[in-house]
Amino acid sequence: MDQKRTKKEDTTIDSRPTREGRTSIAVACCQLAEPIRDPKGTKRIEAMFRRAVDAKARLVVFPELFCVAERPHPKQGYAPFAQSLRQAARVACDWARRFGLWIVWGSVLERPRRPPRDKPHLVYNTSVVADPFGRIAAVYRKRRLFRAALPQGRYDEGRFFLAGRRAVRFTLDGWCFGMSVCFDLRFPSLYQTDRKNGAHAFVVPSAFTRQTGAAHWEVLVRARAIENQCYVIAPNMAGDDPYGRPRYGHSVIVDPWGRVLAQASEGKKDTVLTATLNIEKINEARQSVMMA
């Protein structure tokens, strides 16, 4: 993984392409009706990959924390379930090598190398990209931690997670993808930074609640696409979270003009959306409305 530092306030990581760029690329966006408890050998995961392969997808994107079914411990939080980055990414790398795909493995519970002394239970909510050779190609740690007081319950991710600090992009077949996770979607500056640094598309693994999703999910995804004139691939968890609170589903792929190319329902079954991204659509949007 090639690392590149820019300005101090915008530290980025880029994975460089190993072959000539493509004018179009097929992608798959996976929605899960419930968490995967055994990602190593589950037939659910394999079925989704086979659907992606049938659609000739090069990139497969999963939702936020889709392999986490446990409630955090009252005092230790998610620390008992967290792993080192290499351990947490191993399953994703194995699947990527097996199917010859690029994978955004939603996000995982990553144990920090040096936990804060006063809060040793905190972990990272980390999105990992695996390449077709089974290597870790990019790592993004969620920057914005969800806090909300809703009728269905209170949320405070700062009790369990450390916030990441870096903007991260990865490149495959000449396409540059900006990375983010869920609550990041509400903060445009991350996406604007990625656009300025060459992003063609954004991946947004998520687990929006039913209440916030119904009001804001599609609006936010389309807004990030429109204002940056980029594609957005946004898989969202369906079903209930570990506390029994409903999540929204409605995973979606949006083009640079804000058009919805594919969308799931709230869903009681796993769903794989597919779409083909085309560089000409990006050029068309940016030449029609000059924003940079």
Q: Is the dihedral of CA 111, 115, 121, 124 positive or negative?
A: negative
Whether residue 67 lies in the annotated active site:
no
What six digits make up the tokens of 136?
């870790």
Q: Which residue among 93, 176, 182, 230 is the active-site one?
A: 182
Separation between Cα atoms, residue 179 and residue 140, nearest integer Å: 7
**Which of 93, 110, 142, 176 is labelled catalytic?**
142
Cα distances from 226 to residues 193, 195, 257, 281, in angstroms, run: 15, 12, 6, 12
Q: Which two tokens stand for residue 124?
A: 């990272």
Tokens 């968890």 found at: 237
Residue of 29, 64, 67, 230 with catalytic role:
64
Helix (H, G, I), strand (E, B) or coil at 67: coil
| Token couple for 230 | 């980029």
In this structure, the strands spanning 24-31 and 11-13 are unpaired
The one-character DSSP state at 18 is S
CB 103 within 8 A of CB 62: yes
Which two structure tokens, joined as six digits, stand for 79?
């620390």
272 touches 51 (CB < 8 A)? yes
Is 142 tagged catalytic? yes
**Other residues' Cβ atoms within 10 Å of the Cβ of residue 97:** 16
- The question of whether 93 is a catalytic residue gets the answer no
Contact in structure between 31 and 63 (CB atoms under 8 Å):
yes
CA separation for the pair 176, 202 (Å, rounded): 9
- Which residue matches tokens 């869903």? 267
* Active site members: 64, 142, 182
